[in-house]
Structure 1
Amino acid sequence: MQWWDGVELWVVQLPVAVQFPVVMIVVLPLCLGVARLIDRVADWGANNPASVGAPEPDPEPETEKVAA
Protein backbone atom coordinates (compact mmCIF):
# COMPACT_ATOMS: atom_id res chain seq x y z
CA MET A 1 0.00 0.00 0.00
CA GLN A 2 2.59 2.46 -1.11
CA TRP A 3 -0.10 4.84 -2.42
CA TRP A 4 -1.44 5.20 1.13
CA ASP A 5 1.98 6.33 2.35
CA GLY A 6 1.96 9.02 -0.33
CA VAL A 7 -1.52 10.20 0.69
CA GLU A 8 -0.53 10.23 4.35
CA LEU A 9 2.63 12.22 3.62
CA TRP A 10 0.63 14.70 1.53
CA VAL A 11 -1.94 15.25 4.31
CA VAL A 12 0.70 15.58 7.01
CA GLN A 13 2.56 18.25 5.03
CA LEU A 14 -0.56 20.40 4.60
CA PRO A 15 -1.13 23.32 6.96
CA VAL A 16 -3.51 22.49 9.82
CA ALA A 17 -6.11 24.94 8.48
CA VAL A 18 -6.27 22.83 5.31
CA GLN A 19 -5.86 19.43 7.00
CA PHE A 20 -9.03 19.83 9.04
CA PRO A 21 -11.44 20.37 6.12
CA VAL A 22 -9.75 17.69 4.02
CA VAL A 23 -9.99 15.13 6.81
CA MET A 24 -13.61 16.10 7.62
CA ILE A 25 -14.64 15.77 3.97
CA VAL A 26 -13.21 12.25 3.88
CA VAL A 27 -13.60 10.94 7.46
CA LEU A 28 -17.06 12.28 8.30
CA PRO A 29 -18.91 10.58 5.41
CA LEU A 30 -16.90 7.41 5.96
CA CYS A 31 -17.82 7.28 9.65
CA LEU A 32 -21.48 8.00 8.91
CA GLY A 33 -21.54 5.22 6.34
CA VAL A 34 -19.98 2.72 8.73
CA ALA A 35 -22.40 3.77 11.50
CA ARG A 36 -25.41 3.27 9.19
CA LEU A 37 -24.11 -0.13 8.13
CA ILE A 38 -23.67 -1.22 11.75
CA ASP A 39 -27.16 0.09 12.58
CA ARG A 40 -28.76 -1.83 9.71
CA VAL A 41 -26.94 -5.03 10.59
CA ALA A 42 -28.00 -4.67 14.24
CA ASP A 43 -31.63 -4.01 13.24
CA TRP A 44 -31.58 -6.99 10.90
CA GLY A 45 -30.18 -9.21 13.63
CA ALA A 46 -32.76 -7.99 16.14
CA ASN A 47 -35.69 -8.50 13.73
CA ASN A 48 -34.50 -11.78 12.20
CA PRO A 49 -36.92 -14.51 13.29
CA ALA A 50 -34.23 -17.17 12.78
CA SER A 51 -32.16 -15.57 15.53
CA VAL A 52 -34.95 -15.93 18.09
CA GLY A 53 -35.12 -19.16 20.07
CA ALA A 54 -38.27 -20.92 21.20
CA PRO A 55 -40.66 -18.54 22.93
CA GLU A 56 -40.73 -18.82 26.67
CA PRO A 57 -44.11 -19.82 28.12
CA ASP A 58 -45.95 -17.23 30.13
CA PRO A 59 -45.70 -17.82 33.87
CA GLU A 60 -48.85 -19.11 35.50
CA PRO A 61 -50.75 -16.43 37.36
CA GLU A 62 -50.49 -16.66 41.09
CA THR A 63 -53.75 -17.36 42.87
CA GLU A 64 -54.53 -15.79 46.19
CA LYS A 65 -54.80 -18.21 49.07
CA VAL A 66 -57.58 -17.46 51.49
CA ALA A 67 -56.87 -18.28 55.12
CA ALA A 68 -59.61 -20.44 56.63
Structure 2
Amino acid sequence: MVDAVEQWWDGVELWLAQLAFPFQFALLMCVLLPLSLGLARLIDRVVDNASTRFNPVPKVPPAAEQEQPRKVEAGEPS
Protein backbone atom coordinates (compact mmCIF):
# COMPACT_ATOMS: atom_id res chain seq x y z
CA MET A 1 0.00 0.00 0.00
CA VAL A 2 2.74 2.45 0.99
CA ASP A 3 4.74 1.50 -2.10
CA ALA A 4 1.74 2.29 -4.35
CA VAL A 5 1.28 5.70 -2.73
CA GLU A 6 5.00 6.39 -3.07
CA GLN A 7 4.96 5.51 -6.78
CA TRP A 8 1.87 7.66 -7.35
CA TRP A 9 3.46 10.60 -5.57
CA ASP A 10 6.68 10.21 -7.59
CA GLY A 11 4.60 10.33 -10.77
CA VAL A 12 2.75 13.46 -9.66
CA GLU A 13 6.01 15.09 -8.63
CA LEU A 14 7.64 14.29 -11.97
CA TRP A 15 4.61 15.59 -13.88
CA LEU A 16 4.60 18.81 -11.87
CA ALA A 17 8.36 19.32 -12.29
CA GLN A 18 8.05 19.00 -16.07
CA LEU A 19 5.37 21.69 -16.37
CA ALA A 20 6.31 25.21 -17.39
CA PHE A 21 6.72 27.63 -14.47
CA PRO A 22 3.50 29.64 -15.04
CA PHE A 23 1.47 26.41 -14.97
CA GLN A 24 3.28 25.21 -11.86
CA PHE A 25 2.58 28.50 -10.15
CA ALA A 26 -1.10 28.55 -11.16
CA LEU A 27 -1.63 24.93 -10.10
CA LEU A 28 0.07 25.40 -6.75
CA MET A 29 -1.89 28.58 -6.02
CA CYS A 30 -5.17 26.82 -6.88
CA VAL A 31 -4.28 23.96 -4.52
CA LEU A 32 -2.10 25.46 -1.78
CA LEU A 33 -3.95 28.74 -1.26
CA PRO A 34 -7.30 27.14 -0.31
CA LEU A 35 -5.54 24.47 1.78
CA SER A 36 -3.51 27.10 3.63
CA LEU A 37 -6.55 29.28 4.29
CA GLY A 38 -8.55 26.28 5.51
CA LEU A 39 -5.73 25.17 7.79
CA ALA A 40 -5.33 28.70 9.18
CA ARG A 41 -9.08 28.89 9.90
CA LEU A 42 -8.98 25.48 11.62
CA ILE A 43 -6.02 26.48 13.78
CA ASP A 44 -7.77 29.76 14.68
CA ARG A 45 -10.91 27.92 15.81
CA VAL A 46 -8.94 25.38 17.83
CA VAL A 47 -6.97 28.12 19.59
CA ASP A 48 -10.15 30.15 20.27
CA ASN A 49 -11.89 27.11 21.75
CA ALA A 50 -8.88 26.21 23.87
CA SER A 51 -8.47 29.74 25.17
CA THR A 52 -12.15 30.03 26.14
CA ARG A 53 -12.03 26.62 27.80
CA PHE A 54 -8.95 27.37 29.89
CA ASN A 55 -9.66 31.06 30.50
CA PRO A 56 -13.44 31.58 30.49
CA VAL A 57 -14.89 35.05 30.36
CA PRO A 58 -16.65 35.88 33.65
CA LYS A 59 -20.38 36.32 33.31
CA VAL A 60 -21.44 39.89 34.00
CA PRO A 61 -25.06 40.46 35.03
CA PRO A 62 -27.05 42.80 32.79
CA ALA A 63 -26.87 46.49 33.68
CA ALA A 64 -30.58 46.65 34.62
CA GLU A 65 -30.15 44.06 37.38
CA GLN A 66 -27.11 45.68 38.96
CA GLU A 67 -27.57 47.79 42.03
CA GLN A 68 -27.64 51.43 41.17
CA PRO A 69 -25.46 53.63 43.38
CA ARG A 70 -27.56 55.73 45.71
CA LYS A 71 -27.42 59.44 45.01
CA VAL A 72 -26.32 61.47 47.97
CA GLU A 73 -28.58 64.45 48.53
CA ALA A 74 -27.18 67.79 49.63
CA GLY A 75 -26.87 67.91 53.40
CA GLU A 76 -26.91 64.10 53.88
CA PRO A 77 -23.86 62.45 55.37
CA SER A 78 -22.12 60.25 52.86
Normalising by structure 1, report the TM-score: 0.68
Provide the C-alpha distance between the structure 1 equivalents of 2:34 and 2:7, rounded to a whole number of angstroms: 24
Report the equivalent of 1:24. 29
Instruction: Tell me how far apart the structure 1 counterparts of residues 35 and 48 of structure 2 sit (CA, whole Å).
Output: 20
In the aligned structure 1, how far is the partner of 2:52 from the partner of 2:44?
Answer: 12
Runs of 4 or more above 2 Å deviation: none
Check if 1:34 corresponds to 2:46.
no
In structure 2, runs of 5+ residues without a counterpart are 1-5, 56-78
Please report the TM-score for the alignment, with normalisation by the length of structure 2: 0.60
The residue aligned with 2:8 is 3
RCO comparison, higher one (Cα < 8 Å, 6+): 1
> Larger Cα Rg: Structure 1 or Structure 2?
2
2:46 is the counterpart of 1:47 = no
CA RMSD of aligned residues (A): 1.0
The one-character-per-residue Cα deviations of 1:19-59 (angstroms, maximum 9, x if unpaired) are: 110010000001011101100000000111xx24xxxxxxx
Where does the alignment leave 5 or more consecutive residues of structure 1 unmatched? 53-68
